[in-house]
Amino acid sequence: MTPADTMPTRYPALTRALHWIVAALVIATIPAGVLMLQPDMPRGLRDTLFILHKNGGVIILALVLLRLVWRVLYPAPPLPSSLSPLQAQVARGAHFGLYALLLVMAVSGYIRVRAGGFPIEMLDAIGLPGFVPRSDSLADTAKWVHATARYALIALILAHVGAALHHLRKRDGVFARIWPPLGRGRA
């Protein structure tokens, strides 16, 4: 048996669970963010979407930070040798980009809301201070960053899902690495 035979081929179960929970939250948070800004949205529904969006975004931030700490403790398993060094490099760059953009989106959203003097219900309920000074110009800058970075995040998610489906079709073992920790699914 060579050392390669004993290396893990999947992410740890917590990583796989976090991946799918964050993916579901992001897939719900983006349309909620766009819908809540539509001018003809009824007031009650708009308020509900704002609450879900802001608090969902804070949960995404917390889970991404947890994931990054976990990733340092448990690095990603090696990619299948069928992938070229260039493919592996592109995958690493795309994953780094996804984490960076999730952080930019969540932090800019947080600053936009706090600097604008608005509530984040979940954090207010536990008495967490705002950390950000009240400032209209800071709120406007954060709003611009939030509205602009979303295009990069959406583009990268589409590329990521496209690449994942490509690997699923090829059944080369990449999809199985992140399969949710339920049952014995493999691809």
Instruction: Note the residues at the interface with ligand HEM (CB under 6 A).
Output: 19, 22-23, 26-27, 29-30, 33-34, 37, 53-54, 57-58, 60-61, 71, 76, 91, 95, 98-99, 102, 105-106, 109-110, 112-113, 120, 143, 146-147, 150, 153, 157, 160-161, 164-165, 167, 174-175, 177-178
Q: How many Cα atoms sit within 13 Å of 19 on the Cβ side?
A: 21
Select 1 or 57, whichever has its Cβ closest to ligand HEM: 57
Q: Cβ of residue 157: shortest distance to ligand HEM, in angstroms?
A: 5
Q: How many Cα atoms sit within 13 Å of 31 on the Cβ side?
A: 4
**Cβ proximity of 15 and 71 under 8 Å:** yes
Q: Cβ of residue 88: shortest distance to ligand HEM, in angstroms?
A: 9
Q: Cβ of residue 58: shortest distance to ligand HEM, in angstroms?
A: 5
Which element (helix H / strand E) includes 11? none
Select 22 or 44, whichever has its Cβ closest to ligand HEM: 22
Select 71 or 181, whichever has its Cβ closest to ligand HEM: 71
**Cβ proximity of 30 and 154 under 8 Å:** yes
Select 1 or 184, whichever has its Cβ closest to ligand HEM: 184
Report how far residue 93's alpha carbon sits from residue 84's, in angstroms, rounded to the nearest whole number.
Answer: 14
Q: Look up residue 74 and give its amino acid.
A: Y
Select 42 or 75, whichever has its Cβ closest to ligand HEM: 75
**CA nearest neighbour of 12 among 72, 89, 75:** 75
